[in-house]
Structure 1
Amino acid sequence: MSVTMALIGNPNCGKTTLFNKLTGANQRVGNWPGVTIDKKTGRIHGHDIDVVDLPGIYSLSPYSPEEIVSRDFLLHETPDVVVNIVDATNIERNLFLTLQVLDLGIPTVIALNMMDQVEKLGDKVDVDRLSKSLGCPVVPISALKNKGVDDLVAKVERAAASGHGPDAVEFDRDIEDVISSAVSSLGDRVPKERSRFYAVKMVERDERVCGEFPDTCEAISSEVEDLERRMDDEMDSIMADARYNLISDIVGQSLKRAPRNGKGTLSDRIDRVVTSRIWGIPIFLGVLSIVFLGIIGFSWGDFSITGIGTYFTDWLNGFIEDPIQSGVAEWCASIGVSEAMTSLLVDGIIGGVGAVIGFLPQMLVLFLALCILEDIGYMSRIAFVMDRIFRHFGLSGKSLIPILVGTGCGVPGIMASRTIESERDRRITAMTVTFIPCGAKLPVIAMITSAIFGGNGLVAVFSYVLGIVVILISGIILKKFRRLSGEATPFIMELPPYHIPSAVNVIKGTLDRGWAFVKKAGTIILLASIVIWVLSSYTWGLQYNAGDINDSILASIGHAISYVFMPLGWGDNWELSVGTITGLIAKENVIGTFGTLFGIEAGESGEGLEAVLGTMLSSASGLSFLAFNLICAPCFAAMGAMHRELGSWKSTGMAVAYQCVMAYAVALIIYGILGCIDGWNTIMVDGVATDLGVPVASTVAAIIVLAVMAYVLWAKDPFRQLHDGSREASE
């Protein structure tokens, strides 16, 4: 009979590393029903044990989607055994979750992870005493070095076979009396082994449990209120203090710490520099620069370095063009395939999808860098450092977590805003998180960088800094609206110790993200490329126009909408306008659209995508085009996620409108100001530099927009007096 094992623990406790060690390649990744949180399941090789990896959480209180998912699975799916991963370097913090897990009455095994780090510190853990105090087996392990994992699996099998849950770890007598009353009131309405968990949550006034059993909560309300009066505190605080008092006693008996060096641990010494007020931001910008210079490269005058991502991207693009595109064209000609079908295959499908796939090497290098930084522990430091800046702009450092998630994909970034307690901050974060470039926007950045700026990776750094700046400006602007006004919530975050990144975790995370990119190219981008080809190859009379794209359906649509973008410097070319609109489906479509359109236009000349763009965009209009596409409304999937977070299509529509207006304003300012600088509004025509002159109308409009934006930013908060009054009343 198969055993179901639930893996639970705090974030950064090594849970993912252990899951990978236990299951190897026998893993499946999906989503929990109703949420976009990863659901990872697997099977231990050589054992009849199915492993369910629950999201990393700090408690079983239902305040975040991750906590709800974990709690519902443990309560309703009833796993045969729970393995609670505890970071042995921070036992006190981790045992807060452990005590709640033990209340569930499910057979439990504690995996005391990172014991190699404990030994380095010189600390000693009395495992037997700790096991006796918690009433369940405790197994010391090092998931990273694969030590103790076999012993853990053996203890799991024994615990599952016994079917006995751990003994209750009891609180003070006063609290236990109220819990006993709750258990008695519940009777047999819940399984006996779960009764203590439900009773404790009733005492804490847990909303979900009290909503499920209102009569029982009402029956013990007088005892709870009496206890609050005697303790002079709220019940949830009383229970938290009681847990930490228990934890303090347990750890005091089980852990002997070695004398600490006055300089602190290596992590402490690194953090004094990495998270300092002076060096924190420069180091972050330096790390960002190293990542993108390594991916894209660097050029300054005659000096240039090709990034590793660009090197392989150039190779892959060359391979797609020749032999794939040319080979397919020759094969079609040899067997008599019609001109229209040949164009569909070569220009539509291979040109469109291939233009996106060509950037896969750069994407993989970016994902690799992000996975390494995340595994090391630096990502949490970025959030800590940026909190100091965010608070000056009315935002909390908690907004940084969704933004960091959003660098991979905007959808989970928006969903991650759920972990922010303040509704105002949560809504603002959901509206602005997509300003940070996601993985899908990297090909657009790389395209403009290569076509206009000679492959200078600093353009990518500019793109991410621009995203952060626009988020900060939006924090001030949106807080001026009554519904979104208010003070930023406090930010408290645990900084995990630095770790040597796990090669397995890094490679697996990189490949998973890369495969998601390829799947999108093979579905959404493929369909969009075919639609773009049809619209650009046929006239309104449904006549195939054999390469004369200017008479096509798409050209007439593009010309109609291009007037909107003329003040931004790139409205004269309808192809750029069409690419921007198709990018709303998926940002990769910008590249796919250009790959299809310019492939048809190139005909026999075979001009590359970058060469064509170089004749359309100057440095000023290129940055304007890039800024607009980075900041404007995200893809349809991200809009759907935004709707789920904001709760209505009206709010979503207003958020999308704000994003588009902000994108237009920023792009106008960039083009209007930079276009006045000598050499910034120059394009290459037949190899000759042609100066387009100063965009006077755009410059005047940019100055007006700058003035309006400055006024809005520095204007007095209309609801400041209301906030101050509310704060005084609460005090």
Structure 2
Amino acid sequence: MSSIALVGNPNTGKTSLFNTLTSSYEYVGNWAGVTVEKKVGSLKNGAGKLIDLPGIYSLHPLSRDEGVAAQYLIEESPEALINIVDASQLERNLLLTLQLLEYGKPTLLGLNMIDVAKARGIHVNAEILQAHLGITVLPLVARTGKGTGQVLSILEKSSAIPPVTFKLFYGEVVEEAISSIIKELQHTPGLPTLRWVALQLLEQNPVILQFLKTRVDTSRLLTICAACQSELQIKKLALTLPQWIRSTRMDYIRSLCDAALDTTAQKPHNLTERLDSLLTHRFLGLPLFIVFMYALFKTTFDWVGGPLSDLVDGLISGPISDGTVSMLQYLGASNFTHALIVDGIIGGVGGVLVFVPQIFILFLIISFLEDSGYMARVCLLMDSTMERMGLNGKAFIPFIIGFGCNVPAIMAARSIEQPKDRMLTTLLMPLMSCSARLPVYLLFAAVFFPERQATAVLSMYVMGIVFALILCKVFSKYLFKNESSIFIIELPPYRLPQIKTLSRSTWEKGKGFLRKAGTIILAGSVIIWLMSYAGPGGFDVAMDNSFLAKFGGMIAPLLEPLGFGTWQAGSTLVPGFLAKEVVVSTMNIIYHAPDSAGLESQISQVFTPLSSISFMAFILLYIPCLATVGVIKKETASWKWTFFSMGYSVVLAYSVSLIIFQGGKLLGWS
């Protein structure tokens, strides 16, 4: 089966096209760096496999995700390439196109976002591009599927994509060096087009150099590169060898754009520029973002989400619970089976499912902000603040993704260019309030802050961001002292998200929560219920004499100074390491709550407003869940940093909760 690689600049619509051509769904967002690892799917027509590579500006990698693309091209050999370019940013996109043409594989150029270009008054002549580059050029609108049928028909036979004949002349000095390198490599097996390898070596591509070191003695190759650089200096050209190659390409691209682009109707100020004048304003931009976030939380927890959650709660505690009880009685089920299903499974899992509407509404609004292009602007707004703390604004996008789940957020940190920024983002990501923590906040906010639920929940999100920035400053100063940081981000055009895209994005974010409800939370609820049902004295014991009570009692003394030193609270924290959602399901089982109202009543008798804040802060900050710990180990490739992230979070959680509770008591709060 043939393999076809999908390559292009970040945020040019590659993943949208991938989803359309393969009938699969990968995460799509309106910012650069959404795809951080290669995705593989089968084409609809069965013609082969399509590989979606991370977005890259050139084959010279600046970040780990760009390295994935360069490494794929040198280590594997796709039969053809589909290069996606943004028609509204053609000059910038064509730099990668030339590098791909030099790769030598049959190439199809997808001229995407022609609708955006047209709206800006830019007309691209595809025929002229095709004539100059010698490859097939297809106009596309990947978001709507326009033109994708033609792509599929061409891909039915990879031989339908004509071979590449493009060759750019780089001057006599560079061409002599290319010829010399080709002679050195001509008997080396396993290499793609030798001219492409030579050019990448002359450009000092670290991925290519590392690959060649495993196959040939590179000393002779490096000598040729150095001699070429010396020749350029002799000719008094104030450019390094990589700069000369790039300059040659850019000169060709500008002449090509002059021939293929008609910008006579281009508008001086488009909608994106007018919106940016307000939303990225030096003084108004950040306050507007805070207003948007507050409105997001009010909608999620008060205006829309709250009433929907009440309906789900009534459904679970009413018809579902009552119907299950009646069915068990009809079947003559034992007391053990009855208690397991009603108290363990429905009580545990149902107590978490109550919050599903609010979680999906939160994801829907965040997906809207992402696909509109606004989130990239927030990174720009946050850059000055984050730079003072030791990070750059690009790290804010993984932080926002972390509100959904910390695992993909840590993986998204691959798009950050600097190793220091990437490591800091990975270590601090667990401080972002993922959706798993949300049920805990909602439960306690409903009990102790019923009139200010949105504010109470928002304060937890803000607390996580604040401590992340503070620790970022500390870690930058003491752990990464001499490492610099750069900030490069592309601001995509604003666009109105499509309903189909929004619904799929929301579902992909939310289904992970539902999957946990059917796996980890279900298993955890059964285990917790069994521990509450059995004890040293046998089965069906009083809750206070159960194994769960004994286990929680060992932890309770440590939690006493924090305001929640009961065995019930202690029993929720350890299973919470598996998944934070298990905290609420454990409480439902411990307190035998028939519905959320019953649980809230029990909680109000055990906690106080002050101790509830302390408990929520502890849940926010203490040890990451098991899946997050696993991905930290994978991304850092270090047990040292993994244990460090687990250790500092426990110390931070205990310290903050201690200060909140003891400080509140000194101030006379209750």
TM-score (norm 1): 0.84
Name the residue aligned to 2:212.
213
Equivalent residues of 1:348, 1:529 under 8 A apart: yes
**1:477 paired to 2:482:** no
Shift of residue 296, structure 1, vs aligned partner = 0.5
Contact between 1:65 and 1:418, CA under 8 Å: does it hold in 2? Answer: yes
Q: Distance in 2 between matches of 1:329 and 1:585?
A: 30
**Residue equivalent to 1:592:** 585
* 2:74 and 2:208 in contact (8 A); partners too: no
Q: 1:128 to 1:328 in 2, by over 3 A?
A: same
Aligned 1:317-396 pairs, distance under 5 A: 317-396=313-392
After superposition, the Cα gap between the structure-2 partners of 1:159 and 1:640, relative to the gap in structure 1 and judged at 3 Å, is closer
The structure-2 alpha-carbon separation of the partners of 1:242 and 1:277, relative to structure 1 and needing over 3 Å to count, comes to: same
Residue 554 of structure 1 aligns to which amino acid in structure 2? L
Q: After superposition, what is the alpha-carbon deviation per residue over 1:357-380, rounded to whole angstroms, capped at 9, x for unaligned? A: 222222211221122111111111
Residue matched to 2:260: 254
Residue aligning to 1:81: 80
Contact 2:351–2:596, Cα closer than 8 Å, also in 1: no
Corresponding residue SS for 2:436: helix
Q: Distance in 1 between matches of 2:519 and 2:36?
A: 20
CA distance in 2 between counterparts of 1:324 and 1:271 reads 50
Pairing partner for 2:539 from 544, 550, 553: 544
* CA–CA distance in structure 2, aligned partners of residues 170 and 500 of structure 1: 43
> Across the two proteins, how many residue pairs are aligned to each other?
655
Alpha-carbon distance between aligned partners in 2 of 1:374 and 1:131, rounded to the nearest angstrom: 34
Distance 2:210 2:222 in 1: 14
Distance 1:419 1:53, change over 3 A: closer
The match for 2:30 is none
Amino acid at match of 2:473: I
Opposite residue 218 of structure 1, the aligned amino acid is S
Give the structure, 1 or 2, with the largest relative contact order (CA under 8 Å, sep 6 or more): 2
Partner letter of residue 201 of structure 1? Answer: Q
Partner of 1:244: 250
Shift of 1:190: 4.5
What residue is the counterpart of 1:185 in the other structure?
Answer: 184
1:495 is displaced (CA, Å) by: 0.4
What are the within-5 Å matches in structure 2 for residues 568-717 of structure 1?
568-571=562-565, 573-599=566-592, 602=593, 608-675=598-665, 680-681=669-670
TM-superposed deviation, 1:462: 1.3
Q: Confirm or deny: 8 A CA contact 1:352 1:596 kept in the other structure.
A: yes
Q: Give, in angstroms, the shift of residue 188 of structure 1.
A: 4.1
Q: Would you say the 8 A contact 1:582–1:590 is kept in 2?
A: yes
2:4 is paired with a residue whose SS is: strand
Q: Return the alpha-carbon distance in structure 2 between the equivalents of residues 652 and 312 of structure 1.
A: 39
Q: Distance in 2 between matches of 1:216 and 1:236?
A: 22
Q: Contact 2:391–2:421 (CA<8 Å) still a contact in 1?
A: yes
User: Which secondary structure does the structure 2 equivalent of 1:147 belong to?
Assistant: coil
- Are 2:310 and 1:314 equivalent residues in the alignment? yes
* Aligned residue among 292, 300, 306 for 1:295: 300
Q: Distance in 1 between matches of 2:487 and 2:358?
A: 34
1:563 maps onto 2:557 in alignment: yes
* Corresponding letter in the other structure for 2:629: M
Deviations 1:559-578 (A, max 9, x none): 2211222222222x322222
Is the 8 Å Cα contact of residues 37 and 53 (structure 2) preserved in structure 1?
no
1:88 offset after TM fit, Å?
A: 0.9
- Contact 2:8-2:83 at 8 Å conserved across structures: yes
Give the whole-Å Cα distance in 2 for the aligned partners of 1:647 and 1:21. 34
In 2: Cα distance, 1:324 partner to 1:77 partner: 54
What CA distance in whole angstroms lies between the structure 2 residues aligned with 1:171 and 1:407?
A: 49
Q: Which residue identity is paired with 1:667?
A: S
Tell me the distance in 2 between the aligned counterparts of 1:68 and 1:422: 13
Structure 1 residues 379 and 119: alpha-carbon distance in aligned structure 2, compared to 1, 3 A threshold = same
Q: 1:160 to 1:591 in 2, by over 3 A?
A: farther
CA spacing shift, 1:128–1:157, aligned 2, 3 Å: farther
Asked if structure 1 preserves the Cα contact closer than 8 Å seen for 2:38 and 2:68, the reply is no
Alignment CA distance shift 1:90-1:606 (3 Å)? closer
Distance in 2 (CA, whole Å) between partners of 1:257 and 1:440 is: 50
Q: Which region of structure 1 is more displaced relative to structure 2, 143-152 or 631-640?
A: 143-152
TM-score between both structures, scaled by the size of structure 2: 0.91
**Are residues 222 and 6 of structure 1, via their aligned partners in 2, closer, same or farther at CA, if it must alter by over 3 Å?**
closer
Deviation at 1:191, TM superposition (A): 6.3
Aligned residue number for residue 728 of structure 1 = none
Q: Report the Cα offset of residue 62 of structure 1.
A: 4.4
Deviation at 1:113, TM superposition (A): 1.1
In the TM superposition, what whole-angstrom CA distance separates every residue of 1:610-634 from its partner, at most 9, and x where no partner exists?
Answer: 2222222222221211111111121
* Aligned pairs for 1:101-500 within 5 A: 101-157=100-156, 160-162=159-161, 164-190=163-189, 194-214=193-213, 215=216, 217-229=218-230, 230=233, 231-258=237-264, 261-262=267-268, 264-297=269-302, 307-454=303-450, 456-481=453-478, 483-486=479-482, 488-500=484-496
Which SS does the other structure have where 2:81 is aligned? strand
Could you tell me which amino acid in structure 2 is paired with residue 474 of structure 1?
Answer: L
The one-letter code of the counterpart of 2:7 is I
Query: Which residue in the other structure is 2:43 paired with?
Result: 43
CA gap 1:430/1:586 in 2 versus in 1, 3 angstroms: same
Give the Cα–Cα distance (whole angstroms) in 1 for the partners of residues 75 and 639 of structure 2: 33
CA–CA distance in structure 2, aligned partners of residues 161 and 436 of structure 1 = 49
CA RMSD of aligned residues (A): 2.7
Cα distance change, pair 202–77 in 1 and its aligned pair in 2 (3 A): closer
SS in 1 for 2:50: strand
Distance 1:424 1:15, change over 3 A: closer
Q: Distance in 2 between matches of 1:64 and 1:462?
A: 33
CA distance in 2, matches of 1:333, 1:466: 48
Identity value in percent: 34
Q: Distance in 2 between matches of 1:489 and 1:8?
A: 27
Say whether the 8 Å CA contact 1:183–1:195 is kept in structure 2. yes
State the 1:28 CA deviation. 8.4
Shift in Å at residue 234 of structure 1? 4.4
1:196 to 1:554, Cα distance in 2 relative to 1, 3 A: same
Deviation per CA, 1:169-208, whole angstroms, max 9, x where unpaired?
4434432332222222211434686223222222223333
Say whether the 8 Å CA contact 1:386–1:400 is kept in structure 2.
yes
Describe the shift of the 1:37–1:587 C-alpha distance in structure 2 as closer, same or farther (beyond 3 A): farther
In structure 1, stretches of 5+ residues that fail to align are: 30-34, 298-306, 682-731
Cα distance in 1 between the residues matched to 2:192 and 2:552: 66
Between the aligned partners of 2:425 and 2:147, the Cα distance in structure 1 is 42
Superposition deviation, residue 347 in structure 1: 1.4
Q: Give the aligned residue type for 1:568.
A: L
SS at 2:574's partner residue?
A: helix
Q: Give the match's secondary structure for 2:477.
A: coil
The one-letter code sitting in structure 2 at the alignment partner of 1:423 is P
Distance in 1 (alpha carbons) for counterparts of 2:553 and 2:413: 39
